[in-house]
Chain A
Amino acid sequence: MEILAALLGLLGGVLSGLFGVGGGILFVPTLVLVLGLTQVHAEATSLLAILPAVLAGAWRQQRYGNVDGRAALLVGLGSIAGVAGGVELAKALPEDVLRRLFAVFMLVVAATLAWRAFHPKPAYSSKRDAA
């Protein structure tokens, strides 16, 4: 189970680098279904688990000139109040309700990605011009 979890971590990292999303959304179900954590513990742990991948990814993107440092700082600082509220909300919800909400969130993300794939030039697709 530990090896499977580590492999899924590797996969989640590759996907997060590719799409700018996809680390945590795979880590949470991995932690719940493979390692047997509760939904809240999985979400908490996922946030710590994505940190190394996010920092590595941001460092690489910085080297490609893709990071606006000031904007990142403002978005990050703005998020702290939202995070505080989100943590309280997650802990206030019954475990099974939170798990099902997360499942619905996954399906919405899946639909968003599919929409992105089937529309040739959506606003936020990665362009494959000569970069």
Chain B
Amino acid sequence: MARLLAIGLVAGVFSALFGVGGGIVIVPLLVSLAGFDGRRATGTSLAAIGITAGAGALFYGLHGDLKVGSAALIGLPAALGAVGGVALQQRLQTRTLTIGFSLLLTAVGIRLLV
């Protein structure tokens, strides 16, 4: 139980500092520290992020930093995409996609860095 709370604590800092869910932190920690298999770690991570992201949006909202219209513009299509993505995960060879995603992140990361 202490391990799960600690995983959450670390993930919460990452989530709020970078505006992301924190799955990249939670999934490997659930596997390495709590003995989860990959798929169950992914599903459990998503459910936990519901709380993490909700708390982050609330705290930032109290500072007046939320742009609700922009969030809806991106977030509602994303919800449709997420349902499709989970269905694909059950039957797709994801290696090629993973490499493509990695390259995309690298390109955007470099763009933001300079």
Listed in ascending order, the chain A residues whose CB lies under 8 Å from chain B are: 2, 5-33, 35, 37, 40-58, 60-62, 64, 66-69, 71-87, 89-91, 99-107, 109-114, 116-117, 123-128, 131
Contact = CB atoms under 8 A, between A and B. Distances in A.
Q: Chain B's interface: helix, strand, loop or mixed, by majority?
A: helix
Contacts of A103: 109-113
Q: Chain A's interface: helix, strand, loop or mixed, by majority?
A: helix
Contacts, number: 430
Nearest to A43: B19
B112 A32 contact: yes
A56 B50 CA distance: 10
Interface in B1-35: 1, 4-24, 26-28, 30-32, 34
Contacts of A81: 9, 12
A46 B19 contact: yes
Nearest to B10: A82
B85 A87 contact: no
Contact of B106 (A31, A61, A110): A110
Interface of B: 1, 4-24, 26-28, 30-32, 34, 36-57, 59-61, 63, 65-68, 70-95, 97-99, 101-103, 105-106, 108-113
Most buried by B among A56, A78, A85, A106: A78
